Homo-oligomer: A and B are copies of this chain.
Amino acid sequence: MTSLAENPRLTGDWFFELDQSGFLQGARVTRRLASEKSPFQEMEVIECDPFGRALILDGAFQTSEVDEFMYHEMLVHPALMTHPNPGRVLIIGGGDGGTLRRVLQHRQTRPTQVEIDSVVVEASREHLPAVSAGAYDDPRTELIIGDGVQYMRDNPGQFDVIIVDSTDPIGPAVELFRAPFYRDVAQSLSDDGLLVAQSNSPLLMQDELRSQVANLREAFPIVRTYLGVVTGYPGSLWSYSIGSKRYDPVDVDPSQISQRLAASGMQTRYYTPAVHQAAFVLPPFVAEIVA
A112 CB–B CB distance under 8 Å: no
Min distance, Cβ A192 to any Cβ of chain B, angstroms: 27
Q: How large is the interface on A (under 10, 10 to 19, 20 to 34, 35 or more residues)?
A: 35 or more
A149 CB–B CB distance under 8 Å: no
Instruction: Report the Cα distance A284→B231, complex, angstroms.
Output: 15
Contact in complex: B2, A10 (CB < 8 Å): no
Contact in complex: B278, A204 (CB < 8 Å): no
> Could you say which residues of chain B place their CB within 8 Å of the CB of A48?
22
Instruction: Report the Cα distance A283→B26, complex, angstroms.
Output: 25
Instruction: Report the Cα distance A19→B24, complex, angstroms.
Output: 14
A33 CB–B CB distance under 8 Å: no
Binds B, one of A87-95, A126-134, A173-181, A269-277: A269-277
Residues of A within 8 A of B (CB): 1-7, 9-16, 18-19, 21-29, 48-50, 69-70, 203-204, 229, 231, 235-237, 268-272, 274-275, 277-279, 281, 283-285
8 contacts between A and B (CB under 8 A): A1-B13, A3-B5, A9-B18, A14-B24, A22-B49, A25-B26, A204-B231, A236-B236
